[in-house]
């Protein structure tokens, strides 16, 4: 068990709220914890193995991180290949992915063979529910970016959609499940593009997330390259490519984009944010190694160790790259546009971090070299666009040292160039920034009057 699931996944942090009412949205840790927790959000379901699993959300006021706890009287941690994941959220629905080691969908055979459950928030005094999703047809596997959408006019209905990449980069399979029919449909699709589009500019094969674009439209996002979208409710869906602006950092588009990029869509407006991280060369002293030194001699006289010719210093300068801050950029577009509009471009040195409201954390922000409060003293990654209507606010995880276990969640108002939120986020998962977040509005439905 210890080899696959981190010890920190059994130690969920404590969360607090300013009032008994839930916040209108939450910043969810995408990876669940194993812990027994019970509150008004607790819901349960039966898995394919006939055992009961319970899900509880511990909701905090953003930008503090909320999380999900999974437990069950008949489950042992060895029954899971890895921690359950929060895959997607739309309105009052949350889609969870469970990777079991046993059962007909055991992920020991294939990591993409997993079980999915749809969580529905209870409205007002209503009880939340957890619904298992039937498996996709035999010989099909799932991607890691499935989504769930509520069905208009059906309070309990929902649709799941998963776009699976085939061996050909432009060919896909669209898997759609409807709770009305309780069946999956599979539609082969091809992304048709202009001959001038290079294959390396097409999204995938590794995607970063999936976003709802309004109505039945869904976008599967490669944060380096673009969005593959279609309306999953259409009888004959058509794939569309939406490219994204190329930022200055990592122009080769290698590695995981999520630590420096994010995208969301709210009320028909797609928002794209990125960090252009800067590095500068600095000289680090390094002891000089003479040709043949130690390898080719049997005797070394004292005078050889003490005598040096002019210019033959013991130390030489060895240039290395050091972190030198960042510039944050935002772009936006309406889902119907064929272009992006520039939003904000803000340099780290232009952001004011001197706020009396952050008195407990102000010592972390003091830059003795600059003689002022600044974010330069911190490492910041995972820019995240909120869904609270603040068009210019971006949230990030920030730490004094890259490997530190203690972190803060910071909110930056790009329009005002100020830090408008700074809260501790201490947890083992913060080490090496191994945390991802998912903005969700499902929390507000616990405050709504039941229908």
Q: Residue 201: what pLDDT? A: 83
Statement to judge: residues 402 and 274 lie in one domain: yes
Q: Residue 288: what pLDDT? A: 44
Statement to judge: residues 334 and 315 lie in one domain: no
| Tens digits of residue pLDDT in 242-266 | 999 887 776 778 888 999 999 999 8
d(CA 208, CA 221): 6
Q: Residue 306: what pLDDT? A: 54
Q: Residue 317: what pLDDT? A: 55
Is pLDDT above 60 for 450? no
Shortest CA distance to 17 belongs to which of 64, 55, 70, 57? 64
Is pLDDT above 60 for 432? no
Statement to judge: residues 295 and 392 lie in one domain: no
Statement to judge: residues 105 and 216 lie in one domain: no
Q: Residue 296: what pLDDT? A: 55
Statement to judge: residues 137 and 150 lie in one domain: no
Dihedrals phi, psi of 366, to nearest 5 degrees? -80, 125
Statement to judge: residues 15 and 114 lie in one domain: yes
b (16+ CB within 10 A) / e for 157-190: ebbbbbbbbeeeebebbbbbbbbeeeebeeeebe
Statement to judge: residues 225 and 302 lie in one domain: no
| Tens digits of residue pLDDT in 353-409 | 876 566 656 677 777 777 777 888 788 889 998 886 556 899 998 887 777 777 888
Question: Chain-wide mean pLDDT for the chain?
Answer: 82
d(CA 305, CA 448): 80
d(CA 362, CA 193): 51
Statement to judge: residues 245 and 338 lie in one domain: no
SS3 4: coil
SS3 116: strand
Statement to judge: residues 289 and 353 lie in one domain: no
SS3 37: coil
Q: Residue 77: what pLDDT? A: 74
Q: Residue 14: is the preceding peptide bond cis (ω within 30°)?
A: no
Which percentage of the chain shows pLDDT scores above 70?
Answer: 81
Per-residue DSSP letters for 80-97? BSS--EEEEEETTEEEEE
Shortest CA distance to 17 belongs to which of 49, 62, 57? 62
Statement to judge: residues 131 and 1 lie in one domain: yes
Domain containing 122 equals: 1-143+436-451
Pairing of strands 26-29, 65-71: parallel
Shortest CA distance to 358 belongs to which of 424, 433, 427? 424
Statement to judge: residues 364 and 377 lie in one domain: yes
Q: Assign residue 171 a region (left: φ > 0; alpha: ψ between -120 and 50; beta: otherwise).
A: beta
Number of structural domains, the chain? 4
Statement to judge: residues 131 and 155 lie in one domain: no
pLDDT range class, residue 285, cuts 50, 70, 90: low
| Tens digits of residue pLDDT in 295-318 | 555 556 555 555 555 555 544 555
- The residue with greater pLDDT, 77 or 88, is 88
Q: Residue 126: what pLDDT? A: 78
């Amino acid at each position: 068990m210890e080899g696959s699931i981190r010890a920190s996944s059994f130690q969920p942090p404590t969360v607090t709220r300013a009032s008994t009412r839930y916040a209108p949205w939450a910043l969810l840790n995408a990876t669940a914890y194993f812990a027994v927790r019970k509150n008004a959000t607790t819901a349960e379901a039966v898995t394919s193995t006939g055992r009961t699993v319970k899900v509880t959300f511990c909701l905090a006021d953003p930008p503090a991180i909320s999380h999900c706890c999974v437990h069950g009287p008949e489950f042992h941690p060895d029954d899971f290949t890895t921690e359950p994941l929060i895959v997607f959220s739309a309105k009052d629905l949350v889609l969870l992915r469970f990777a079991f080691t046993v059962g007909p969908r055991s992920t020991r055979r294939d990591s993409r063979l997993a079980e999915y459950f749809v969580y529905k928030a209870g409205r007002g005094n209503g009880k939340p529910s957890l619904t298992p999703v039937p498996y996709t047809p035999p010989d099909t596997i799932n991607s890691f970016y499935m989504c769930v959408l509520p069905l208009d006019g059906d309070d309990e209905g929902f649709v799941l959609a998963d776009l699976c990449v085939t061996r050909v980069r432009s060919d896909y399979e669209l898997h759609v499940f409807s709770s009305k029919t309780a069946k999956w449909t599979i539609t082969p699709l091809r992304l048709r593009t202009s001959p001038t589009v290079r294959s390396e500019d097409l999204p995938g094969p590794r995607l970063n997330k999936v976003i709802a674009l309004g109505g039945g439209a869904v976008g599967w996002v490669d944060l380096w390259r673009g969005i593959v979208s279609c309306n999953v409710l259409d009888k004959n869906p058509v794939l569309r490519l939406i490219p994204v602006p190329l930022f200055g950092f990592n122009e080769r588009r290698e590695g995981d984009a999520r630590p420096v990029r994010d995208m969301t869509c709210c009320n028909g407006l797609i928002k794209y944010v990125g960090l252009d991280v800067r590095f500068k060369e600095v000289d680090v002293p390094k002891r000089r190694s003479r040709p043949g030194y130690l390898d080719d001699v049997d005797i070394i006289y004292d005078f050889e160790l003490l005598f040096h010719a002019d210019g033959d210093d013991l130390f030489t300068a060895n240039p290395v790259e050091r972190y030198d801050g960042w510039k944050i950029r935002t772009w936006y577009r309406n889902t119907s546009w064929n272009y992006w509009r520039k939003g904000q471009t803000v340099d780290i040195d232009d952001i004011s971090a001197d706020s009396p409201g952050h008195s407990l954390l102000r010592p972390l922000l003091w830059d003795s070299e600059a003689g002022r409060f600044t974010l330069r003293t911190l490492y910041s990654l995972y820019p995240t666009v909120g869904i609270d209507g603040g068009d210019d606010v971006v949230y990030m995880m920030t730490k004094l040292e890259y490997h530190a276990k203690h972190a803060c969640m910071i909110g930056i108002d790009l329009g005002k160039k100020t830090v408008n939120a700074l809260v501790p986020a201490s947890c083992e998962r913060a080490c090496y920034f191994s945390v991802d977040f998912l903005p969700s509005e499902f929390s507000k439905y616990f405050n709504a009057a039941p229908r």
